[in-house]
Amino acid sequence: MRKTKLIFVLALAVLASLLAVGVATGATADPTIRASAKLRNAVEPAGILVHERRLQRIANAGTDPDGDGVGTRASGTPGYDASADYVAGKLEEAGYNVRRQTFNFPYFGELSSSFSQTAPRQRDFEPSDYDVMTYSGSGTVEDALVVPTNDVQIPPDPTPGTSDSGCEPGDFEPASTTEDEVALIQRGTCDFAVKAQNAEAAGYDAVIIFNEGQEDVPGDDRVGVVLGTLGEPGVGIPVIGISFALGEELYEADGAKVSIDVETESEIRQTENVIADTTSGRKNRTIVVGSHLDSVPEGPGINDNGSGTATDLEVALQMAKLGIEPKNRVRFAFWGAEEFNLLGSEHYVASLSDDALDRIALNLNFDMLASPNFVRFVYDGDGSATPDDTTDAGPAGSAQIERTFKRYFEAKGLKTDPTAFDGRSDYGPFIAEGIPAGGLFSGAEGVKTARQQRIYGGNAGEPYDPCYHQPCDDISNLSIKSLDQLSDGVAHATFTYANDEELFGASSDGARSLARTYNEYKGPEAIK
């Protein structure tokens, strides 16, 4: 009896050990994961941080547009030019074929601003309580009456993007011709520019756009301060964004009045994309690995998007150091003027002929990889996480890219969340041409949910990056854990597609000619 029991116990132990071996080796069972190991092991946070610290020093020595003591790497400033010099120099030293594609763009900078409420109570707001929208006009309004537009939804509709406040000229009461008045508009279905243009046409002296109000919207902040762009110059009055809570207060207050003072500059400046090609690989199956090099004018942009820039640069340098000769040409692209509505990637794509577009097999995009309150977001290539919005599915091949990332993280025992193709980063111009795309994202101004806190840690109810588009996005604003995990995903996907002889299972499936056209993309923060 005791001997039989002992044998049984030993058998269970052996079985358990075999199962443990199975689990332990599961991460290396996928041959593509084994193949990318050498590059992944070479791409380490320590190397990435070398580039991040250099970008911080460049910002420190660069332009301080609003005099707050914080430098910037925004396109059109010396900080961006120095960033481009650094990246291009490193790539040239590593043996890449580097070219610098210059273009003109409408620069925007906020020189100064203030915002206060004067009635029915007096209070001065901090810069963190509001945001001057990109391409806002300049102007001063004092003790101005706040006039809500029609179609404001308080309480908000449960479905995000349903308020059409300010989207039609008829949403505005005729403005006073003798006193300053400010239009109060809710975020919703149409572009911020449309709302602002309608308000200006109706005679208002300034615009306040407040958030829509839905809580726990994955990957999107519908409650906090609206951070937006008007897309291009053209609106001549001040336009600021505020939170839903403050908007609700102003909406419900009897005779609310505010003072707004905004000084901005808009002018045509020159900037550039830095593009580096491997010297080997099939040119008719080019893999474009992209990240935007610029910051917003407000700060150094060490997470947004120094983290993507530094990671892509380190992947490129380590590929060269290891002597990796890819079967498909890899093009590392560092985009300018992304923060001014994807202008660098748009210019690049628009400059290509049909034949040149057909030679691009896919685009991998990495925009923010080290958010302090991070989530491991993977772009939802097949749109399955957003089944009610068909425009959020990428072109054919995007689903396969999504699966490549998900299988990698699953093999490593790491969960991921989907993020939609909403057009907020440089994949937008590529998918607009039917080129499949995918990538990783650690989160921006969106608020972490309780479910995400259980999976990833961090703090529910707070932004993924509390310093998003702010001066505090500096070298201290990084999660090394996120950078470590997501940079491995970057290295794995880059290596996998660089050496995939039959992209997506067929030699031509990745080409633009067989990919369906993406319906429509929108620029970053321009809508809803």
Domain boundaries, the chain: 31-96+278-514, 110-266
Dist. CA 495–CA 509, nearest whole Å: 19
Residue 67 has pLDDT above 60, yes or no: yes
Per-residue pLDDT tens over the stretch 208-234: 999 999 998 876 889 999 989 898 899
Assign domain 31-96+278-514 to its CATH superfamily.
Zn peptidases (3.40.630.10)
- Predicted confidence at residue 325, as pLDDT, reads 97
Residue 51 has pLDDT above 50, yes or no: yes
- Name residues whose C-beta falls within 8 Å of residue 59's C-beta, 6 or more positions apart in sequence: 70, 71, 72, 73, 79, 295, 299, 300, 301, 302, 474
Per-residue pLDDT tens over the stretch 431-460: 999 999 999 999 998 999 999 999 999 999
Per the rule left: phi > 0, alpha: psi between -120 and 50, beta: everything else, 255 is left
Per-residue pLDDT tens over the stretch 109-136: 899 999 999 999 999 999 999 999 999 9
Indicate the pLDDT class of residue 506, thresholds 50, 70 and 90.
Answer: very low
CATH of domain 110-266: 3.50.30.30
Residue with tokens 């840690």: 457
Residue 10 has pLDDT above 70, yes or no: no
Indicate the pLDDT class of residue 388, thresholds 50, 70 and 90.
Answer: low
Indicate the pLDDT class of residue 386, thresholds 50, 70 and 90.
Answer: low
- Predicted confidence at residue 503, as pLDDT, reads 87
- Is 31-96+278-514's fold the same as 110-266's? no
- Predicted confidence at residue 64, as pLDDT, reads 67
Residue 338 designated active-site: yes
C-alpha dihedral sign at 384, 385, 387, 390: negative
Residue 22 has pLDDT above 60, yes or no: no
In angstroms, the Cα distances linking 346 to 232, 343, 481 are: 14, 5, 32
Per-residue pLDDT tens over the stretch 158-186: 999 999 999 999 999 999 999 999 999 99
Which of 52, 181, 232, 338 is catalytic? The answer is: 338
Indicate the pLDDT class of residue 387, thresholds 50, 70 and 90.
Answer: low
Classify strands 282-292 and 328-335 as parallel, antiparallel or unpaired.
parallel
Peptide bond before 41: cis, by omega within 30 degrees of 0? Answer: no
Per-residue pLDDT tens over the stretch 319-364: 999 999 999 999 999 999 999 989 999 999 999 999 999 999 999 9
